[in-house]
Chain A
């Protein structure tokens, strides 16, 4: 790791890494770290767990993954109490927030888990209901346009909850193969400012290097105030893994 005070330094904050890591969320973080290191960019890692607050201006990329039901309930309560304001402030200020699966559900107003209603952060206009239906499980591919034209994201989804976007909410993308938010409306995930919420794990970033680099650029831009051109890397294996995940989704 290079000088953490340097401007060209990706400052990552992982929320509840001990609780919210069920679908190999660590892979997303390893992927970001290596891609920064290979470019000679700095990378600093911080974690905020139960009971801990954080400084919203000290981190440019905030990550939260998925957890088991019990962990998710504990995390939801704790996060509202100790981190809600800092997360909202960071997002409004342009920080990147990537929330996957359980973490994605907690961005919304609430998560109805059978009889139990869990309050979410309310920073994305959505809510999630887990009823009697089958879990939505399988390979998934979507088409997302994050400003540079439509591109494909591929991954794996496994969720019991159905997420319904509010009228003003913008989905991350359109489902090509798989289930998406609610298995019905063809939409997947949510995005607002530099916040991305999605059911796609697998993990997501190693299967979609272009998204990882896009998020790194956004985070560095928030840090430096300027657009940042990332050095290209030898991505043959990354491309092959992306193709493999896309084909898996096409096979169904």
Chain B
């Protein structure tokens, strides 16, 4: 590393420190932005210090949680990866982590659209790829194009190891070469317990055509969105058999789940304190990454059992003496899983909900996705619902057309005011479902009141 580059790093770190002191914007990615503005090639220079290499995690849904689980596993094994936390998953978030943290290995969560640009600069040892769903089409263009770019990326990274979801055909195919032979260094993970399958394919179904021959896939069952057991009736691009497989899953509502997992190293039982099948997938990805990083099963199981929710992905905070559970919603597949979890949680009891729909750039300015999510699932199970955020009235309209009673509905745009009255009106627990920027507003509000930690810590 040259003296000039070292000086740039120093300037960038100092600017970040100032920004944090002044209390503006959390300062999470300022040093990286400053450094990249001075030196576009900074990331490849910074990663040369990571002797054990890097793990890169990406997916539409669950990348922050999966990376958080892998961090927990590595830390329990006594390792301290440089890790871009708090969902700062574009190249300045990565540069910031590399500037501010010391370590001999990297763990980076990368936004799915940025992955093809950022991953080659990181030269990862292991790529952990979970799923691709329709999400923010206004920003990313079409899903199949993202899948094509990922395929080019994987083909260009020689000798990279892969942990891939077998149940997502868009992901599983990345583990096979042109002749459909399995690449070396691939671990597939997936769900084998058919008792948790959906009764039918959900509407927001994103992988219809075989990646190889274009024939429509045939699905025996689906678990989350288009993740499931599929075959191609026309060629051999079927679902690969997963080595890391959830063979028995007991879902326990918001409390989490208990999962029996078969792995090449033996069986383990995971007591997962995070709810829903989507978190089972995140855990399977993290187990695969842990095994590929040389961590033993007992350590992995202990780390997962100790997982706390990552940055508002699912957490419960007490507000005015009542538990407020926060569940991020941002696209149809993710929202459907949240709705399914709440259906289990309710168990016939009517729920108090607060849903905040924002249309800022980080949310996706196009809010049409709410019409693809199955809000119908909870139509008879809600006591009182507050719609907040910049597009609160459109959210309320969606619920009205999903069969929710408008008598139980309040439209109140302001985040703070609407949350306070929703808490005041709730007899007990409130479930808060914000989109991404509404989650940021909510977290800031709660941490200003001393109820939740600052998010960049």
Contacts and interface: CB of A to CB of B under 8 A. Distances in A.
Q: Do A and B bind each other?
A: yes
Interface of A: 18-19, 21-24, 26-27, 30-31, 34, 68-71, 74, 135, 137-139, 156, 158, 201-203, 206-207, 237-238, 240-241, 243-245, 248
19 contacts: A19-B208, A21-B203, A21-B372, A24-B370, A24-B371, A26-B203, A27-B372, A30-B371, A31-B401, A69-B142, A138-B138, A156-B365, A158-B138, A206-B371, A206-B397, A206-B401, A237-B411, A245-B394, A248-B391
Q: Which 5 A-B pairs have the closest CB atoms?
A: A27-B371, A240-B393, A24-B371, A24-B368, A241-B397
B185 interface: no
B102 interface: no
A18 B401 CA distance: 21
Nearest to A248: B359
Interface in B380-403: 390-394, 396-398, 400-402
A183 to B, nearest CB: 16
B138 A137 contact: yes
A207 B208 contact: no
B393 A23 contact: no
Given A30-B401, A240-B393, 8 more contacts: A18-B208, A68-B142, A69-B144, A74-B214, A158-B366, A201-B368, A238-B397, A243-B393
Interface of B: 134, 137-138, 141-144, 203, 208-209, 214, 359, 365-372, 390-394, 396-398, 400-402, 406, 411
A243 B394 CA distance: 10
Contacts of A241: 393-394, 396-397
Contact of A156 (B142, B143, B366, B372): B366
A3 B368 CA distance: 32
A23 to B, nearest CB: 5
Contacts of B398: 27, 206
A71 B142 CA distance: 11
A156 B393 contact: no
Contacts of B134: 22
Contact of B397 (A24, A135, A237): A237
Contacts, number: 89
Contacts of A156: 138, 365-368
Contact of B411 (A23, A207, A240): A240
B209 A237 contact: no
Interface of A is mostly: helix
A248 B396 contact: no
A4 to B, nearest CB: 21
B393 A70 contact: no
B178 to A, nearest CB: 19
Contact of B396 (A31, A138, A237): A237
Given A68-B143, A68-B144, A237-B411, A23 B368 contact: yes
B132 to A, nearest CB: 12
A30 B138 CA distance: 23
A19 B394 CA distance: 26
Nearest to A137: B138
Which one of A24, A137, A206, A240 has the highest number of Cβ atoms from chain B below 10 Å of its Cβ?
A24
B254 to A, nearest CB: 28
Contacts of A22: 134, 137, 142
A202 B142 contact: no
A206 B134 CA distance: 21
Contacts of A18: 208
A27 B402 CA distance: 10
A203 B396 CA distance: 15
Task: Please indicate which of the listed interface residues A19, A30, A70, A241 has the most CB atoms of chain B within 10 Å of its own CB.
Answer: A241
Nearest to B376: A30
A70 B365 contact: no
B368 A135 contact: no
Given A26-B203, A70-B209, A71-B208, A207 B394 contact: yes
Contacts of B209: 70-71
Nearest to B366: A156
Nearest to A19: B208
A21 to B, nearest CB: 8
A202 B367 contact: yes
A18 B219 CA distance: 14
B365 A139 contact: yes
Contacts of A245: 394
A237 B393 contact: yes
Contacts of A244: 390-394
Contacts of B402: 30
Given A139-B365, A241-B393, A248-B359, A203 B144 contact: no
Nearest to B368: A24
A91 to B, nearest CB: 26
B363 to A, nearest CB: 12
Contacts of B371: 24, 26-27, 30, 203, 206
